[in-house]
Amino acid sequence: MEISWVAVDTPLPSGPMQLAVTPLGVALSSYVGESSAGLPIGVPRCTDERKVEAVRSRLAEYFAGRRRELGLPIDWRFASGPHRVVLQRLLADTGYGRTVTYGELAASSGVFEDVVEPGLAARTVGQMMGANPLPLLVPCHRVVAADGIGGFGGGPSGIEVKRWLLTLEGVLPPTLDWDGPTGG
């Protein structure tokens, strides 16, 4: 398995991101800034300057408010079965500046048709978002609770990362301490 990682500086409260790349595309991303991004020990830093530049420049444009879609190829090797179906539905249907509730995503994915317990499908989607191997590229920050922002992984500053991204995309109004771009 040819896999390597790229570090990307971000304005996020969590700091830099790590993205694992393969010949097929981005396979993993992490907000927590750990050099391994959940990869086995010994995975090397990416030395393919075209890949590094593509990842860094597209994320920089997104964080600056100049790009609404990252447009990076995705390697889905770390998502399978219903989890992958739900993530792909989210990516296809919930664009920049839009949100979907956990329950709406569960219903639109089609993978929970036999679930009869109220709330179980929505809670399962919440767990799936927490296990998303490709945060930001597959925008789990756009999945919210029916009664509020919902939860978010990404380390100790996870919910602040979600708020920052939703503010960048215009879903939430900027607060007085907003440190993002001023004119997306």
- CA-based max dimension of the chain: 50
Number of domains composing the chain: 2
Domain coverage including residue 112: 81-168
pLDDT tens digits in sequence order for the chain, 184 residues long: 699 999 999 999 989 999 999 999 999 999 876 545 556 667 899 999 999 999 999 999 999 999 999 999 999 999 999 999 999 999 999 999 999 999 999 999 999 999 888 899 999 999 999 999 999 999 999 999 999 999 898 667 889 999 999 999 999 999 888 888 865 4
Q: Does residue 19 form part of some domain?
A: yes
pLDDT of amino acid 184:
43
Strands (E), 24-105: 25-30, 100-101
Q: Does residue 139 form part of some domain?
A: yes
Same structural domain for residues 106 and 163?
yes
Same structural domain for residues 85 and 154?
yes
- Give the active site residues: 140
Q: Does residue 74 form part of some domain?
A: no
pTM confidence score: 0.92
pLDDT of amino acid 40:
60
Helix, strand, coil proportions of the chain in percent (round to 5)? 35, 15, 50
Amino acid occupying residue 16:
P
Same structural domain for residues 92 and 39?
no
Closest CA to 155 of 18, 49, 21, 7: 18
Same structural domain for residues 55 and 89?
no
Closest CA to 34 of 44, 49, 19: 19
Q: Does residue 178 form part of some domain?
A: no
Same structural domain for residues 59 and 111?
no
